[in-house]
């Protein structure tokens, strides 16, 4: 694994990649950086996280449109359903973690009494 320093929106990030993929990673970082620059409000201030989130959303929308145009509708529907199932599963997992934390807190408070 190789460590590569990339720059996006004026910030440096050290990321790992497979050997031989350094140039590809740099090219992808340059692409993202160009997209960030196009989204920036001229003369306005925008938080780094918000700017990167907007960039990611725009790129995800483009990928979705590309997939919809190149994949059969049934395949796109299956992908969207799989994404929805995964989102529900993640929500349930978060709920279980919250319940476990609450139960541990209750148990700890009972032990103190």
pLDDT at 111: 84
Q: pTM (2 decimals)?
A: 0.56
The mean predicted confidence, pLDDT, of the chain is: 86
User: What are the structural domain ranges in the chain?
Assistant: 1-70, 72-113
φ/ψ bin of 4: left (φ > 0), alpha (ψ from -120 to 50), beta (otherwise) = beta
pLDDT at 44: 62
pLDDT at 47: 82
């Amino acid at each position: 694994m190789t460590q590569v320093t990339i720059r996006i929106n004026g910030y440096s990030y050290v990321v790992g990649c497979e050997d031989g993929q350094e140039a590809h990673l740099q090219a992808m970082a340059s692409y993202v950086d160009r997209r960030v620059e196009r989204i920036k409000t001229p003369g306005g201030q925008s938080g780094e996280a918000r700017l990167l989130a907007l960039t990611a959303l725009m790129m995800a929308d483009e990928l979705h449109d590309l997939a919809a145009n190149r994949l059969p509708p049934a395949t796109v529907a299956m992908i969207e359903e799989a994404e929805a199932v995964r989102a529900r599963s993640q929500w349930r997992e978060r709920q279980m973690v919250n319940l476990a934390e609450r139960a541990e807190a209750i148990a700890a408070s009972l032990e103190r009494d």
